[in-house]
Amino acid sequence: MSLKVGKTVEGVVKGITNFGAFVELPGGETGLVHISEVADTYVKDIRKFISEEEHVKVKVLSIDGDKIGLSLKRVRENKEKHVSFEDKMAKFLRESDERQRDLRKNTEGKRGSRDTKAFN
């Protein structure tokens, strides 16, 4: 299969690292979805968005020799143009709740770490 920049193709996630995910494309080529191209929100753990062996649609961003740059979020952007306001609001609230939960969990862990004997 001939890949072209701007084309959307389906592939299979073959590996996940801290900086991105490797996707096997039709024809046996492998491309990288950088962590910044996984979602529109801040991505701390890619595994919350995709998993190995998952079939995904990706957009080809660049082809530089044997390096292929891919994006998941740009495929989703095209789909989200047709999403209703209520669906967008529900997604925002869900992501906001997740962020608040993470913040509370991190803050609570730090509060209990001080030595209380110094204050008694």
Q: What per-residue confidence (pLDDT) applies to 81?
A: 62
70 and 54 fall within a common domain: yes
Q: 């979602």: which residue's tokens?
A: 39
Helices (H), ranges, 11-84: 73-80
41 and 85 fall within a common domain: no
CA distance linking residue 72 with residue 63, whole number of Å: 16
102 and 62 fall within a common domain: no
CA distance linking residue 112 with residue 110, whole number of Å: 6
Q: What per-residue confidence (pLDDT) applies to 115?
A: 52
| Strands, E assignment, the chain | 8-16, 20-24, 30-34, 55-64, 67-71
In a 3-state reduction of DSSP, which class is residue 114? coil
67 and 88 fall within a common domain: no
Question: Which range marks the domain in which residue 58 is found?
Answer: 8-76
- pLDDT band, very low/low/confident/very high, at 8 (cuts 50, 70, 90): very high
58 and 104 fall within a common domain: no
Q: Is residue 96 a contact partner of residue 102, using CB atoms and an 8 Å limit?
A: no
Cα–Cα nearest to 32, from 72, 79, 74:
72
Cα–Cα nearest to 55, from 30, 31, 24:
24
| Model pTM above 0.85 | no
Flag whether pLDDT at 1 surpasses 90. Answer: no
Flag whether pLDDT at 117 surpasses 90. Answer: no
> Domain tally for the chain?
2
- Residue 116 forms part of a structural domain: no
User: Hey, how many other C-beta atoms are within 10 angstroms of the C-beta on 10?
Assistant: 12
Which of 41-45, 47-51, 81-85, 98-102 is predicted with the least confidence, judged by mean pLDDT?
Answer: 81-85
The CATH number of whichever domain residue 66 belongs to comes to 2.40.50.140
Quick: pLDDT tens for 61-113. Answer: 999 988 999 999 998 766 656 677 888 888 889 899 888 988 888 887 666 65
